[in-house]
A and B are shown apart, each in its own frame.
Chain A
Amino acid sequence: MTTTKAPARPLRVIVAKAGLDGHDRGAKVIARALRDAGMEVIYTGLFQTPEQIVQTAIQEDADGIGLSILSGAHMTLFPLVVEQLKAQGADDIVFFGGGTIPNDDAAELKRLGVREIFTPGAPLSEIIAFVERECGKRRELVG
């Protein structure tokens, strides 16, 4: 006998840019790639604050947040998003990021609670697989 389930809604992911950094090529490519992989993607546009990004994620009932920073401000802005997620009780949302981020900084950010950091050259397929896996797990837990 097969059990029938209501068709699951697609995974929903926020792609965000924070601070004053206008380099949005990577963010847009990721947003398109996730959309082409069947997800619902909300792109925040530029110059968002950590508070705004987390608010958007909560309002949109997002499974994940991908934050792209190429300005060197990553050690300030990523931790602020982690803080906001905790403060809002939303740290089940899968928070990952990318940009020009040296390995040492990436390790530190992961220690602080950023789930994964993708640096330039990371294949889209790898990023898509990560989001599907981790956001999928979150969806099962949260329902």
Chain B
Amino acid sequence: MIERWERKAEAAPVRRDKGSGAADRTISDVPLKPLYGPADVAQLDLTRDLGAPGEFPYTRGIHPTMYRSRLWTMRQFAGFGNAKQTNERYHFLLSQGQMGLSVAFDMPTLMGYDSDSPKALGEVGKCGVAIDSIRDMETLFDGIDLGAITTSMTINGPAAIALAQYIVTAENKGIPRAALGGTIQADILKEYIAQKEWIFPPRPHVRIIIDMMEFCTREMPKWNTISVSGYHIREAGSTAAQELAFTLADGFAYVEGAIARGLDVDAFAPRLSFFFNSHSDFFEEIAKFRAARRIYARRMRDVYGAKDPRSWQLRFHTQTAGCSATAQQPENNIVRVAYEAMAAVLGGTQSLHTNSMDEVLALPTEKSVEIALRTQQVLAYETNVTNVVDPLGGSYYVEALTAEIERQALDYFDRIAEFGGMIEAVEAGYPQREIADASYRYQRSIESGDRVIVGVNAFEKPDEVQSPDLLKIGVEIERGQARAVQDVRAGRDGSAVEASLAALKRACAGDANVMPALIECVRNVATEGEIVDAMVEVYGRYVEQTQF
């Protein structure tokens, strides 16, 4: 039967239009056949490799009934300008049916500089919200019940400081830290690989992350201590398999660090979560999510000895691919986002952010954020893709692709092991080089016309006029925020700040967990920049070995 088809297929004309050069590989360069059949899944063992949803190795999903029981969390990432503006956006999003908050911080906050630092010039409030001290964090969550809503914070270098600020904000409202639910990204390894918002060198930075994991394991049972992030690895230009491999390898480095600290793997692993990108190659993305769960479950059980099934389950948030959005014909991004969101849902995500159409040019307007949220609501309530668990399970193509992406990721694990582990591989610049190579190959495939990007290298509209409705962040935000942080410094007990910063330096230099000292600094209204400066005195700042 297949042989008969092959003869016909060989005789059929091959399409030679624009973009047909990409027909024999996925967007990540995985070779494809025109048809998949039983022979492609001959190695697939239904019990060993798939199991049932909610069962090891969780290829088909971590819950038995998935979205029939509970929809994914619609969690839009938001932050711009100052804490007051962002607080207003949060109230708007919650009033429109969003289920959890997700904080985007500005660059100075992510890099550990206060808004009045010369380094912050031109950057305050631009890519996210400026948070300098506990006062800003309090404004950010004004009127929001932190005991009821979960919050995700995308911050890595100063993650421990942001967590301390969140804890103290809640405590000032009478909510104990044990009641707090949410996620802090706290994935510093991917910063060296991709996002580049680091502060300290890798080893002390990882130590602080492990301190956070230890602290949260003891004191914040509902908090996801770390969100290991492939998103930025993909945005930096990686393939799907690289995203998967480097993200999981980062996650395993934290697991190994926590075990070395003496923590029981089953005490912390159930609170680990992941964050993936959903790019535009529909089936490849679904396969990536399925492969991720399978690799993770096996390794957590078989290598790290986890016994609690919750430690085997890879839970993840997904964001549609910012790098797939185009400045040209930006309304097309609405359509791209919808397909990418559907791939995430068919891949079994627990939480989703859909990008807004204008993000390639500026932070999104309220209108474009609303469309992005409605995209998720249409997907959840109108398309019926939520009715059946893992609907593509058993598809010859999807199963073969899942196995292929798994194989590529495992190959990367072997190469990382040759460096001695992920921290060593990162120090050697290995993932950075692999991603830069992939990014260049991808760009070349667009340049050559092998791969079509609608509105960019096909179906262009040369006389296109850009929408005037872009969100602008004025210089008055920077000036106001700089004045505010100066007022904060002037109006507090300076000697208490000095004493708590000195205690923090001692904790950093020694072996004690730094979290209590950080919380004390925040209580005394030390600014983020002051806290980071104190830690830099002990650890130094990281300088990248640049390559392209």
Q: Footprint of B on A, CB under 8 Å?
A: 15, 19-25, 27-29, 31-33, 41, 43-46, 71-73, 75-77, 100-104, 119-121, 123-125
Contacts and interface: CB of A to CB of B under 8 A. Distances in A.
A119 B327 contact: yes
A118 to B, nearest CB: 10
B237 A73 contact: no
B328 A102 contact: no
Nearest to A50: B121
B363 A72 contact: yes
Given A121-B453, A121-B455, 12 more contacts: A20-B111, A21-B123, A22-B196, A25-B235, A46-B544, A72-B363, A73-B122, A101-B361, A104-B466, A119-B327, A120-B360, A121-B328
Nearest to B109: A20
Contacts of A100: 327, 360-362
Given A100-B362, A124-B443, A125-B447, A72 B546 contact: no
Interface in B494-526: none
Interface in B130-158: none
Contacts of A71: 107, 123, 126-127
Given A21-B107, A29-B443, A100-B362, A73 B123 contact: yes
B83 interface: no
A72 B436 CA distance: 23
A22 B107 CA distance: 9
A19 B122 contact: yes
Contacts of B440: 28-29, 32-33
A121 B326 contact: yes
B245 interface: no
A102 B123 contact: no
Question: Majority SS of interface residues in chain B?
Answer: loop
Contact of A29 (B361, B439, B473): B439
A26 B381 CA distance: 38
Contacts of A43: 546, 548
A123 B443 CA distance: 9
A88 B548 CA distance: 28
Contacts, number: 104
Contacts of A24: 196, 236
A120 B113 contact: no
A71 to B, nearest CB: 5
A75 B122 contact: yes
Contacts of B450: none
A27 B544 CA distance: 15
Given A20-B108, A24-B196, A77 B439 contact: no
B123 A20 contact: yes
Contacts of B546: 43-46
Contact of A72 (B126, B328, B455): B126
B500 to A, nearest CB: 26
A121 B413 CA distance: 33
Nearest to A120: B327
B65 interface: no
Contacts of A27: 548
Contacts of B235: 23, 25
B19 to A, nearest CB: 15
B110 interface: yes
Nearest to A121: B456
Contacts of B457: 123
A20 B120 contact: yes
B447 A124 contact: yes
B327 to A, nearest CB: 5
Given A43-B546, A120-B327, A120-B360, A73 B126 contact: yes
Given A21-B107, A22-B197, A32-B440, A72 B362 contact: yes
B342 to A, nearest CB: 24
Contacts of A29: 237, 439-440, 443
| A-B complex: 10 closest residue pairs judged by Cβ atoms | A22-B196, A76-B122, A72-B126, A73-B122, A45-B546, A20-B107, A28-B548, A121-B456, A31-B548, A103-B466
Contact of B123 (A15, A19, A23, A41): A19
B365 interface: no
23 contacts: A19-B122, A20-B123, A22-B196, A24-B196, A25-B323, A28-B440, A31-B548, A45-B544, A45-B546, A71-B123, A71-B127, A72-B123, A72-B363, A73-B123, A76-B121, A76-B123, A77-B122, A100-B362, A102-B362, A121-B326, A123-B447, A123-B457, A124-B443
A95 to B, nearest CB: 17
A76 B123 CA distance: 9
Interface string B226-245: 00000000011100000000
Contacts of A101: 361
Question: Which of A28, A33, A46 has the most chain B CB atoms inside 10 A of its CB?
Answer: A28
B408 interface: no
Contacts of A123: 447, 457
Given A32-B548, A72-B363, A22 B123 contact: no
Contacts of B470: 102
Given A22-B195, A119-B327, A121-B456, A102 B361 contact: yes
Interface string B437-473: 0011001000100000101110000000010101001
